[in-house]
Amino acid sequence: MSGIEDLGDLAGRRVLVRSDLNVPLDGDRITDDGRIRASVPTIEQLAGAGARVVVTAHLGRPKGEPEAKYSLRPVATRLGELLGTDVAFATDTVGESAHAVVGALHDGQVALLENVRFNPGETSKDDAERGAFADQLVELVGPDAAFVSDGFGVVHRKQASVYDVAQRLPHAMGGLVAREIDVLRQLTDDPQRPFAVVLGGSKVSDKLAVIDNLLGKADRLLVGGGMMFTFLAAQGHAVGTSLLEEDQVETCRGYLERAAAEGVELLLPTDTVVAPEFKADAPATVVSVEAIPDDQMGLDIGPQTATAFASALTGARTVFWNGPMGVFEFDAFSAGTRAVAEALTKVTAAGGLSVVGGGDSAAAVRSLGFDEAAFGHISTGGGASLEFLEGKDLPGIDVLES
């Protein structure tokens, strides 16, 4: 696949960049700017080459029309701060404001269009409607423009600004996407061993395909988070009021049997931190997974399990982690996630590859105060990372190969 260097001389050319700037907001305040910071190097590279950079991105899940709470205006401000220069902001996607802003760009300047999902054509399942919006984006930047795909968090989506535009303009992979693909291929093609996978988050159903695929590749699989209770139920344990997917119990039982048959070490928690309700100040108690009270819910792995998980990761040469071990946003239930994160930093320090698989795991690393440089790689795309590891084709990557 082509890289930016294959696009030729970019001075004076408009370059449409699909970035992933889907950051969490509290009102107009960005609470985690990790994805914006990850997008900066490619934008800087293009601007430094004299390109007139037009960034398109989404935020949240608007219904194909403008919604103030999903505006990218705060993102434009933060992007400008990180770039050290003003970022022009268009208040629409392909309308009067977009044409005025893009038309006024000079070499090396950057503009950000309003949330691309404010246009129904972006996410349409109808090829013609999606293509029509892509045509408008191409008209905005002109037929001599180029397209750079740098939003890894959306490459698993067949959407206008990800897929269809790439069919219409000379295209290249941005540095962020190239790095993501390189790291994930190290996990799937020939990982250094021992290879450990840590899975958490709320639902087993979100991870079925990745468990299926990685059970044949990993040496150890550690399961925590809300999904652990469905596995515990498959072992015959009562889980109180904890999150439980009853329709997945048999599936989990099958995974336990398959892991044993294939010699994969599948570790489940032996203790958990429970509380009577889902609240930050709920009284927390540590109990054995064999004695979860009927009126309590598990909100974190317990200290014994945290120690066991950290020990299981010691000596691993490759670790992939997706999904927190508990409700890390609440201090009383963050210790398990912190223990796993700390163990990954030690893998990195020992020369191994530690990969934080985006989404809530990446947010947890930052919110718990870890230095991002202590990990081998922090993915910007939770869903895209999982689909890659499931062995699925990613439309936004496939189109770049054409």
Q: Is 179 annotated as a binding residue?
A: no
Check if the beta carbon of residue 372 is closer than 8 Å to that of residue 392: no
Selected catalytic residue, list 224, 226, 359, 381:
359
Locus of tokens 């902001």:
89
**Residue 216, annotated as binding a ligand:** no
21 is annotated as contributing to ligand binding: yes
341: tokens are: 């994160």
To the question of whether residue 20 is assigned a binding role by annotation, the answer is: yes
22 labeled part of a ligand binding site: yes
DSSP string, 156-187: TS--IIIIIGGGTS-EEE-HHHHHHHHHHHHH
Burial class (CB in 10 A: 0-12, 13-18, 19+), 115: buried
Residue 298 annotated in ligand binding: yes
The percent of the chain in helix, strand and coil, each rounded to the nearest 5, is 45, 15, 40
168 is in an annotated binding site: no
Alpha helices in 49-190 (DSSP H): 73-83, 96-103, 127-141, 175-188
For residue 203, indicate whether it is catalytic: yes
- Asked if residue 336 belongs to a known ligand binding site, the reply is no
Would the annotation count 263 as a binding residue?
no
Distance CA 373, CA 48 (A): 25
Residue 60 annotated as lining a ligand binding site: yes
Does 237 belong to an annotated binding site? no
CB 64 within 8 A of CB 120: yes
* 359 is a catalytic site residue: yes
Write down the catalytic residue from 168, 366, 383, 392.
383
- 361 labeled binding residue: yes
Catalytic residue, chosen from 18, 35, 158, 217, is 35
Whether 35 is a known active-site residue: answer yes
SS3 call for 94 = coil
Catalytic residue among 73, 168, 179, 203: 203
Q: Which residues are catalytic?
A: 35, 203, 359, 383
Known binding-site positions for (2R)-3-phosphoglycerate: 35, 117, 157
Known binding-site positions for substrate: 20-22, 35, 58-61, 117, 157
